[in-house]
Amino acid sequence: MEFAGDIESIIQGYAQGYFLMADDLDILSWYSSRQRALIPLDHRFRYPKSLRRVLNQERFSVAINRDFLAVCQGCADRETTWISPELMKIYYHLYQAGWAHSFETWQGDELAGGILGIAIGGAFIGESMFYRIPDGSKVAMVQLVEHLKARGYVLFDAQMQNPHLARFGAYKVNNKDYQVLLEKALTLSCVFA
């Protein structure tokens, strides 16, 4: 199935609660989940005290879309990945159309880490994250939450729960509750970048 040319239907798929992933054979398909992991955009968001020290040291600067493709490659560069070459092309087309974004941390001229996601209305759907310098992605997470709150976003969908996300207060909701939250978020007109 060819996805890359049809941005509108891809955004409609995400707006209905689906997400794209490639399987072990790099075949791209739509997926849904009975439970979604959400990053709180309120007082429930938390992070380790050790990270507070890193933030106070201001070792990293933050950028949006400074090197989108490098963030895509960083997210895909792992032993097992759902980001196939075709999906990377789709992300790039979504980026060119203003839907996909990279939220990055930099240490000088070196990309330290980043988060790749799709912004629709008041929803930010986090697709993946990575780091090259320790704490790079963690700082990106904290700064991204602040950015989303400042821009009026109401939903930060991290898709699947893991211990790393749980440290930031990520919690699971069932698909029915997720659909209600997503529908509300889609009525907003937030500007990511």
When pLDDT is cut at 50, 70 and 90, the band that residue 3 belongs to is low
Nearest to 184 by CA among 56, 1, 78, 41: 41
pLDDT given at position 79:
85
pLDDT given at position 1:
41
**CA distance readout (Å), 56 to 8, 122, 153:** 41, 29, 25
SS3 76: helix
In angstroms, rounded to a whole number, what is the distance separating the alpha carbons of residues 69 and 96?
A: 11
Task: Tell me the per-residue pLDDT of 17-64, one tens digit each, with 9 for 90 and over.
Answer: 999 999 989 899 999 999 999 999 999 999 988 999 999 999 999 999
Task: Tell me the CATH number of domain 7-186, given options 1.10.10.10, 3.30.1600.10, 3.20.20.70, 3.40.630.70.
Answer: 3.40.630.70
**Residues 122-130, mean pLDDT to the nearest whole number:** 97
In angstroms, rounded to a whole number, what is the distance separating the alpha carbons of residues 180 and 102?
A: 26
Nearest-10 crossing angle of helices 49-57, 136-150: 80
Listed by start position, the domains of the chain span: 7-186
**Residues 130-137, mean pLDDT to the nearest whole number:** 97
In angstroms, rounded to a whole number, what is the distance separating the alpha carbons of residues 141 and 119?
A: 15
**CA distance readout (Å), 181 to 31, 84, 155, 173:** 18, 29, 7, 10
Looking at the DSSP assignment, which residues form a beta bridge with residue 119?
Answer: 124
pLDDT given at position 35:
95
Check: CB of residue 20 under 8 Å from CB of residue 34.
no
When pLDDT is cut at 50, 70 and 90, the band that residue 13 belongs to is very high
DSSP 151: T
